[in-house]
Amino acid sequence: MKKTGLLSGEHSAFAEQLLVRLQQLAPGQVAENILLSHLLDREPVTYEAIIDLMSPRIPFYRWYLKQAALQGVAVCNNPFLMDIVQEWTALQLAQKLAIATPRTAILPSWEKPQSVPDRAFGNLSFPLDWQNIFEYVGFPALMMPAHEPPDESNTHFIADEKAFYRLHPLTGTRVMMLQQKLTWQAYYRCFAIGKEARVIAYHPGLPAHQRYQADFPITAARLEEITAKARKIQAFLGYDFQVSEWAVVDNQLYAVRLAQPFHEGFLTTLPDAVQNWICDSIAQTIARLLEQIQPQQDNLNWGQWPLASIQRRAFWNWSFIPV
């Protein structure tokens, strides 16, 4: 009997709905919430598939997921992606795929790590060419950590140089990303879940409970463009469940946020109809996976970018093959 485990958190109603739907689509399987205490390096993981809706918020879980993946468990999303794909990486990949992105710069940390002596920074020019950075990115801008998924808690609005010099010292030893703040006319989120995708108008500047009430119009052509580009990014990066954000500026589409694995945090304020669609799409993805799993083999989704790298081919020259 095949078993599917679920890592979920505060949204217990969604978790219960998902477990019920999993059992409906794959009769005879066991679907249950995972309960963890600590990890032992020789302990077997007894699931064929695991749905991860929490490790982006609770990093401890990722160690368990990596252990499970190395034992042949199909983990969605691939737990190793969080180590190799950050927003900067995803933006670079998007540019290679001819997808427009905001102008972005990576900044050395304001403070040096305490354990690293000054003489170790011989490859870092000093003083930094701040003027070149400011002229390239422009103001207003957004500043966020380079190694963490951007969200409201760690993203700072930078109106001008004065604001930058006031806020950057507060970031300590974290490497930060400075990004052009687009003046957009419409903004959308795309939920890419397995083989399905759904685009929703979204206003990041409104209070949280009003953001999905945005009424930005969208043509059939724009809907198709967002869906196609979001699915392309999803397939090349290797996400099973992804959330991307897209802005329209003077009729041009920009990818704004890409390295966002879907997790329970996205359920807050999400309309019920969309939550139901996500629940059903996740369950269908897992039902298909359970039919394809090969015991004691790697059952992760590695995406077309890593696969191209293994074959020493330029991934941006590959023909797009939807997952």
- What end-to-end distance do the CA atoms of the chain give, in Å? 27
Torsion angle of the four alpha carbons 114, 119, 125, 128, in this order, in degrees rounded to the nearest 10:
30
Q: Are 262 and 241 in contact (CB under 8 A)?
A: yes
User: What is the C-alpha separation between 154 and 54, in angstroms, rounded?
Assistant: 18
Residue 210 in 3-state DSSP? Answer: helix
Task: Report all structural domains of the chain as residue ranges with CATH numbers, in order of start.
Answer: 3-82+283-301 (3.40.50), 103-180 (3.30.1490)
Whether omega before 140 lies within 30 degrees of 0, making that bond cis, reads yes
The pLDDT value given to residue 10: 77
How much is the pLDDT for 94?
95
pLDDT at residue number 323: 45
Q: If you compute the radius of gyration of the chain from its CA atoms, what whole number of angstroms results?
A: 21
Whether the model clears a pTM of 0.85, i.e. scores above it, the answer is: yes
Question: What is the maximal distance between C-alpha atoms in the chain?
Answer: 65
Question: The tokens of 264 are what?
Answer: 């329970």
Tell me what pLDDT residue 318 has. 60
Along the 323 residues of the chain, how does pLDDT read in single tens digits?
Answer: 899 999 998 778 999 999 999 999 988 889 999 999 999 999 999 999 999 999 988 999 999 999 999 999 999 999 998 888 999 999 999 999 999 999 999 999 999 888 899 888 889 888 889 999 999 999 999 999 998 877 788 899 999 999 999 999 999 999 999 999 999 999 999 999 999 999 999 999 999 999 999 999 999 999 999 999 999 999 999 999 999 999 999 999 999 999 999 999 999 899 999 999 999 999 999 999 999 999 889 999 998 888 888 887 776 666 655 54
Q: What's the residue count for the chain?
A: 323
Distance of CA 153 to the CA centre of its chain: 16
